[in-house]
Every structure is written in C-alpha cells, then in structure tokens.
Amino acid sequence: MNVGLYSGAAGMRVGEEYQSLISENLSLQSVPGYKQTIPIFSTDPQAATERTTQTTHSGNPAAISMSRMVDFSQGPVETSGDPYHLAIEGKGFFEVREANGSTTYTRNGAFAISPTGELHTADGAAVLSKGGSAIKVDVSTGGNVIIGSDGTISLNGVAQSTIGFAHFDHPSASLQPGAFGRFVAARSSDAKQGLAPNDSVVQGSLEQSNANPVTQMADMIQAVRIYEANSKSVKAVDDTQNQLITNLGSRPQA
C-alpha cells in the first residue's frame, strides 16, 4: 500500500467535506437559532479506522479524518418586534411536537398564532406547553399578549399557558440534528424539563445563528488550501511512480 498516495487522497476527501460543512453553515446563516457545525480533525489511528456516519476518512490508518460536532453556544439576540417571536438566553430549548407525535427541540423561536389560536413553528409544528399539550391562546377578541421571562403566556393580564422547555447537561452528546433545524434526543431521559438555571425568555426577539460569516469565509479558504495541498501531494506521488515505471521499463535487459 502506498501510504503517501492514500494519505493524500484522504486529505482531499477531508478538504471536500470541510468545504461542504462550511457551505451548509453559510446557507443556513439566516435561520433563527441555527447552531453551526464545527469540524474535528484527527490523525489518531483509532479515530481514523472507526466507521461512523459522522466521520470522513480513507480507510488508511495513517490518514487524517474529520468528524462533525454541533456547536451549541449562544447566538446573538436581536429585536424583531413580533410578540410571538421568542429568544432563549441560556441553554434551554423549546419543545415541539412533530407530525408523527414525537417531541423535538429547537432554539428557533420564530413562532406564530394559527387561525385557531395555536402557537406553532414556521412549518406548522405545535409548540408544546409545560404539560406537553399544544398551546392555544384565544386572541379572537384582541388584547395584549405578554410572554414572560419564564415562558408564561398572558392575555390582558390573565395567564393562559406556559411554554414547555427542556435543557441538557451535554447537548452535543444528547442531541442529533433532525428536520427543519430541530434536534432529536438520543435518549429521552437526557432531557431535563424546564429552562436551565439563569435562563430567560425574551419576547419580541430572535436568537441569530452562532455561525460568524467572516470566520466561515476564512475557514473556506483554509479548506480549499487543504484540498489543493493534498491534491499536489497525490500528483507528486503519482508522477514519482510513473517515473520509476518508465525507468524500469527502459533498463537494458541482462
């Protein structure tokens, strides 16, 4: 096995995957609450030979590999002015009911009220209450909707419901990306009900993506350079092999 050739090819694959990751972060930059994916590079033999869906490698134990991890750090909070837009400052997640009845978790608080008074996500999934049921607010008669820092929804000063939240001690280990930018818990037991200590809800605001576009563009340049450097390495090895074959073929027979 030509280690140089395999290592160079592995580096090219990692460069491509790195570019794909950055493109994904940039394309979802405008989605409220989006959590960027960050690369984890390794040349450890065990990491390079483990077969996981989140790792890109060549199969060569000496090759570089790249795995993905979601960065759950806080994104900046910006005012939107919409009373049904909510941002969490802290570690908590909104609880959402999917069409199949399962519960998912999101930081995207761009909610709206349906004609029947149900609080829902932009794609129509129900936002859950503290008790696990869909939230309904009778706004047919008008009035002032206030959502407190603990998620309590009040209409004209009367409490209507409380939004359901969950938090995780180790979200990177407990949560997997799902549809519509939401997350699925690997084990339901990992979800701790309620906001985390010191968390607060901000009404009329949205958390922005935590992916910095300037940093992402700088990373894209690095990813391209990784690919190009390894491509040159592969070409150099290939040229050397071709030269050796040519030299052997032209050697006079004894």
Query: Would you list the domain boundaries of the chain?
Result: 3-72+210-249, 77-207
Higher-confidence position of 125 and 60: 125
Higher-confidence position of 227 and 52: 227
Per-residue model confidence as pLDDT tens digits over 184-215: 999 989 999 999 999 999 999 999 999 999 99
Q: What confidence tier does 54 reach under pLDDT thresholds 50, 70, 90? A: very low
Mean pLDDT (the chain) is 86
Per-residue model confidence as pLDDT tens digits over 99-122: 999 999 999 999 999 988 999 999
Task: Return the pLDDT at 250.
Answer: 62
Task: Return the pLDDT at 14.
Answer: 86
> How would you write the chain as a 3-class SS string?
CCHHHHHHHHHHHHHHHHHHHHHHHHHCCCCCCCCCEEEEEECCHHHHHCCCCCEECCCCCCCCEEEEEECCCCCCEEECCCCCEEEEECCCEEEEECCCCCEEEECCCECEECCCCEEECCCCCEEEECCCCECECCCCCCCCEEECCCCEEEECCEEEEEECEEECCCHHHHEEECHHHCEEECCHHHCEECCCCCCEEEECEEECCCCCHHHHHHHHHHHHHHHHHHHHHHHHHHHHHHHHHHHHHHCCCC
Q: What confidence tier does 52 reach under pLDDT thresholds 50, 70, 90? A: very low
